[in-house]
Amino acid sequence: MDYLYIGNVKIEKTAVLAPMAGVCDYAQRVLCRENGAALVFGEMASSAGLAYGDKKTPKLLASGESEKPFAAQIFGNRPDFMAQATEIAQDFKPDIIDINSGCPMPKITGGGAGSALLRTPKLLGEIVQAVVKASKIPVTVKIRTGWDENSINVAEIAKICEASGASAITVHARTREQFYSGAADWSRIAEVKKAVKIPVIGNGDVTSAEKCKQMYEQTGCDLVMIGRAAWGAPWIFRGIGGTSGTNGTSGTPYPTLDERLEIMTRHIELLISDKGEQVAMKQARAHVAKYLRGLRGAAAFRNMCANLSTREDFLILTEKIKSNYEEN
């Protein structure tokens, strides 16, 4: 097994789970760690929310031993609030503090945070400096290639983050204007790798162990990050575990129907234990729909997901899925 260090945090050189708002909660993170994710990132927490004492925001920073190594992610556009958020976040014992300067959503960029910071490099540098000064653990930064194709500045941004004290950079190889559409431009990850000396994490369009291997080979990145491809498929990390991306893949077979349903059921049980049945089952609707991708009769089963309200509803759905396969 190959390893790398982000600051003093030792990480297997396989693949890590990306921070995804509304997706990467406790249940998702635990399942991905169990299936081989080398590091997991939490959902982004608002620095303003933390600074003003919002009661819900701190919950996004909580993690357990089964999730470690764990990176807590914060966002905002004020260095003072980001520093204060860093101090609060450390009370939850994360291994890494991650600064979000890549989120493309209007509600985030409209306030000057997320990928809007790509348009204000000086401010981003000040934010990184403030967070690093307030932190006793490594600080990383997640960025995109630029605001749009006419303002690609990823190498410049990466250098500023490095000079400001960041211990690693994650590059989502799309512009803000792309959101999550179009192809990720991996050449930009390679560009950043040549521009800085700190570890570079590549993100974008890695949907399999083979794609992970290709990203390592084509970009020279130090670590690979997987986001949407792990939603409803935490087993994606199984095929990558035990490789550095340059030594081939483990060839872990796609899970059987029973294995898939078992993992899906564990996910829902973790959700319920963490959030209570009423809240968990509302959130389970989207998760279950993702787990059903590619199954026979998936469209009909996804329609049933919209009505999931109790654990019993979920168990009935899984039995119908099993019956559908037994009858065909």
Task: State pLDDT tens for residues 287-308.
Answer: 999 999 888 888 889 889 999 9
Residue 296: the pLDDT is: 83
Is it true that the peptide bond before 69 is cis, omega within 30 degrees of 0?
A: yes
Q: Which residues are catalytic?
A: 103
Q: What is the pLDDT of residues 45-80, one digit of tens each?
A: 999 999 999 999 999 999 999 999 999 999 999 999
pLDDT of residue 171: 98
Beta bridge partners of 10: 5
Specify the pTM: 0.93
d(C-alpha 138, C-alpha 130), whole Å: 13
Rounded mean pLDDT of the chain?
A: 93
DSSP-based helix, strand, coil % in the chain, nearest 5 = 45, 15, 40
Nearest to 13 by CA among 218, 221, 197: 221
